[in-house]
Amino acid sequence: MSYFSPKLGIDLGTTNVLVFVPGKGVVINEPSIVAVSKATGKRGGNKVLAIGAETKAMVGRTPDDVIVYRPMKDGVIADYRVTEAMLRYFMKKALWWNPFKPTVLVSVPAGVTSTEKRAVIEAALKAGAKNAFVVKEPILAAIGAGIPIHEPMGRMVADIGGGTIDVAVISLGGIVASTSVKCAGNRLDRAIADHIKKTHNLAVGDKTAEEVKIRIGSAVTLQEELTFAVRGSDTVSGLPRTVDLTTNDVATAMSRELREMTQAIRKVLQETPPELAADIIDNGIILTGGTSQLRQMPELVYRRTGVIAKLANDPYYCVARGTGIALKHLHTYQKSILAKK
């Protein structure tokens, strides 16, 4: 990589944005959330107040005239202008030392439409990129997990993030069968919050629900359960209260969403040609993405599909690492690159 033409790989997730600089690795890992003030004055238009990590502390604690939200919904752009501001901020932060416009490669869900794809490219170019490429997440996850995707052999990857689960069977550098389902980590958090409200009359925020999932959550019920004290406000009296939750409580709360996620994997397996299906039985299903780190996730996938599932090394960083490798070898991965400007 020459000093003059910097390159950036961006894992543009619903929950987090990871920025990869070849030669340096992941230099940014921040929540994809933005704080904006509601329109004031004659000109209107919301003003962006904070982006990423500095916004995280504001969640659930803002005054009425400030909104904190995610401009990415289910892995695609929900608010174009704010996503552009967010991309500009992260690109500038990653390349503060370099005045030149970067070549940017961005991850998109497997089920992305051409309009959504164009929106990502436009946002990256408007945010200051010289060139913008997009590559589907399962391809990047596979590259980042060290899978030789150009071999004539079927490999299956399930990338489970915050907004989507992207499942794909890859052979000879291309996707043979795939699906993208808008049910992943964020839906699990909501299911936990709803369960706590319904069974314990306790209202908790998304942040607390996510902490419950990380601390004691499991994809299948366990014999040796963990417990966690959850604080929230009583839905009847409105006063603060604490309840104790157990792992199996949480596993039950998430069961419907987990079924939807494993259903996506089953669907892709059913659409896979027999020769490639045989390869997948030999190689197993590779799980990547933050939500794949939920306790016993590989076990749940095995129970529902009959195929061994394995966690990739460092599953959270696979897509970001994949963007870096793809940038380094743009010609090799030409077939996988969806678009460029």
Known binding-site positions: 162-164, 210-213
Q: Which residues are annotated as a binding site for ATP?
A: 162-164, 210-213
Closest by Cα among 90, 166, 93, 94 to 135: 166
Query: 3-state SS of the chain?
Result: CCCCCCEEEEEECCCEEEEEECCCEEEEEEECCEEEECCCCCCCCCEEEEECHHHHCCCCCCCCCEEEECCEECCEECCHHHHHHHHHHHHHHHCCCCCCCCEEEEEECCCCCHHHHHHHHHHHHHCCCCEEEEEEHHHHHHHHCCCCCCCCCCEEEEEECCCCEEEEEEECCEEEEEEEECCCHHHHHHHHHHHHHHHHCEECCHHHHHHHHHHHCECCCCCCCCEEEEEEEECCCCCEEEEEEEHHHHHHHHHHHHHHHHHHHHHHHHHCCHHHHHHHHHHCEEEECHHHHCECHHHHHHHHHCCCEEECCCHHHHHHHHHHHHHHCCCCCHHHEEEEC
- Cα 247 → chain centroid: 24
Amino acid identity of 153? M
Closest CA to 14 of 147, 142, 161: 161
Sign (positive/negative) of CA torsion 166, 17, 119, 7? Answer: negative
Nearest partner of 79 among 90, 65, 61, 67, judged by Cα: 67
CB 160 within 8 A of CB 292: yes
